[in-house]
Structure 1
Amino acid sequence: MRIGIAGITGRVGRLLVEEVQAAGVALAGGTTRTPDRAAGLPPACPLFDDIAALAEVCDVVIDFTHADTVVANARALAGTKAAWVLGTTGLSAQQNESVLKAAEHVAVVHAANFSPGVTLVQRLARMMGQALPAQVYDAEIVEMHHRQKVDAPSGTALAIGQAVALGRGVDLDAVRESGRDGHTGPRREGAIGFAALRGGQIVGEHDVLFTSADEQITLSHRAFDRRIFATGAVRAALWVKGREAGLYSMEDVLGLPPL
């Protein structure tokens, strides 16, 4: 098996190199916009200018690059035989649509977070959203990340919120409340609230709170090392090789039964 890494010289890209090697499969190469930062990569690791050329020499491409590259990457990979493991967050509706179109041609595993723990938190959040009435239990999601993070709320927080909304049978965009400030008035019944904190070098912290007048239930996840994302992505790559075209999730990779 051959795995290629888009953005191989990035922070997650270098962890992916180590995890691919630890998995005992072949590193086919990677793409980079900063070839001058290639020091430290395996000596025989080829670098490519574009993702289509990389896909031609591998079975799976792992992509943690940037939302701005998703449409072009989706178009390029749809014309190849390589599966796509996509961990880029903060996608627009158009960018998400391009992922869906690519999945008509190749197997795609798309996840906001490749941590098994976060995947289970999302599953539990959906179950709790379904079981705890929105008229009684207020749902709030609080996340904190390092100071360099550019999007808020985080993709993981939004994915958890989407899980709650799915459990409640509502459209997240219709009930989402983010960044409350000033005289906002009382909390809307059924709202799903988001709060984003930034500071230091925190890898990722997410709390999902369901609060009624009588009790509070909290789901919490703390990532201590971003390697967990690379480990999960390689696990997804090993799983998706040879799968039929379609859009898959980390729940599929973990073998969780459908709800």
Structure 2
Amino acid sequence: MSKTIPIAILGASGRMGATLLRCLADYPQLVLVGASTAPDSGLAGRDAGEAAGLPAAGVRLVDQARDALPGAAVAIDFTLAAAVAGNAAACKAAGTGLVCGVTGLDEAARAALTDAAGAVPVLWAPNMSAGVAVLERLAALAAAALGDFDAGVHEVHHAAKRDAPSGTALALGRAVVAGRGRPAADAEPDGQLRAPGLAYAAERLGDVVGEHTVTLAGPGERVELVHRATDRAIFARGALRAAAWLAGRPAGRYELGEVLGLGRVDTLASGQ
């Protein structure tokens, strides 16, 4: 039997936290040893599974991320953007790797993830879907081959989603820019990715889980690359797969594509 990997789930009482707990049974090498909830949830002390309407998990919820980390090799964070900086700092202090799927991050949160990556392995992705990781790489390859085409990223999400364009849309834009041989940072001085020949469109409708389309259009032709999510469990499965892969890695920043054996977007686009 392969060695088990102890993990903690930050935000275990939320919608994605409950999905992670439900999917955890499909990853027998991962063992839950810690789980946190928001300080104002009133759920601290309850069994994490029971609080999510699931069978008992044998782990009690705590209201501070740092208290969920002892003994965990990797933490999975699906909390809120405002909590990411503190969670990253707590993982750094505990020596716990971090898989973060929170979107809408500000500069302080992004800086905290980078700082934590100096001490522990960190994987942040705005979308934990394996299909989206593949879409990013296809977008980079297509942009590299069709460098003179206009590019557009169109996304649709549920009406309650706050950030627009979504983190996934911005990641796809970065993939297009990388495919054209430009550093993504050059195109986002204020946090919103912009580049010549690159446009975004966002819609917030009903309960759509997530749809993303990358369009490359030139004279007389266009290419469309599409991903549609129909079940939030894909994000939980991607995060759990990433946690199993990240455990024991050296400190540094990692991408979901590396978990899938696809490499990094920038090196793929440049042919390295």
TM superposition score normalised by structure 1: 0.90
Alignment of 1:106-255 (within 5 A): 106-133=120-147, 136-170=148-182, 171-173=186-188, 176=193, 190-255=196-261
**Deviation (angstroms), 1:162:** 0.7
**Deviation (angstroms), 1:42:** 4.0
**Deviation (angstroms), 1:46:** 1.2
Is contact 2:22-2:54 (8 Å) kept? Answer: no
Structure 2 gap segments, 5+ residues each? 44-49
CA distance in 2, matches of 1:69, 1:253: 25
Is contact 1:21-1:27 (8 Å) kept? Answer: no
Among 18, 24, 29, the residue aligned to 1:14: 18
Alignment of 1:83-102 (within 5 A): 83-102=97-116
CA distance in 2, matches of 1:246, 1:162: 20
**Deviation (angstroms), 1:21:** 2.3
Among 48, 51, 58, the residue aligned to 1:38: 51
**Structure 1 residue ranges, 4+ long, deviating more than 4 angstroms after superposition:** 174-177
TM superposition score normalised by structure 2: 0.85
Aligned CA RMSD, in angstroms, stands at 1.8
Is contact 2:211-2:229 (8 Å) kept? Answer: yes
Among 52, 67, 73, the residue aligned to 2:66: 52
**Deviation (angstroms), 1:39:** 5.0
The size of the alignment, in residue pairs, is 246
What amino acid does structure 2 have at the position aligned with 1:160?
Answer: L
- 1:256 — aligned with what? 262
Q: Compare 204-213 and 31-40 and name the one that shifted more.
A: 31-40
Is contact 1:16-1:234 (8 Å) kept? Answer: yes
- 2:46 — aligned with what? none
Deviations 1:181-203 (A, max 9, x none): xxxxxxxx933101000111000
Identity of aligned residues (%): 42
Structure 1 gap segments, 5+ residues each? 178-188
